Amino acid sequence: MQVNQRMEKVMTTIYLVWNESGTECVGFDDRADADYAATGFASGNGGGVSTLAEAFRENYADDDPDAEFEITEIEA
């Protein structure tokens, strides 16, 4: 018996936060986590932030806590 199944693609927005030189990035599907990684401030996510976002800031904004990084949105 052959079964035909229709697979639907579900597109989602991925937010890439780039380091200052644009050579490395980290990706999130949650805008608040991306905002935190990029600015140090979470945008309305109820308080918690991703440990990955925290690690990105520790690595790239350690010398300048006010540093802001570019966010690129992609659909995947």
Distance CA 42, CA 62 (A): 17
Which range marks the domain in which residue 63 is found? 13-75
Based on the structure, what is the number of domains in the chain?
1
Structural domain includes residue 41? yes
| pLDDT tens column, 17-55 | 999 999 999 999 999 999 999 999 977 656 688 999 999
Is 42 inside any structural domain? Answer: yes
**Are the C-beta atoms of 49 and 34 separated by less than 8 Å?**
no
Beta strands in 4-67 (DSSP E): 13-18, 25-28
E-state strands within 1-76: 13-18, 25-28, 71-75
Residue 5 within any structural domain of the chain: no
Read off the pTM.
0.82
CA distance 36 to 76: 21
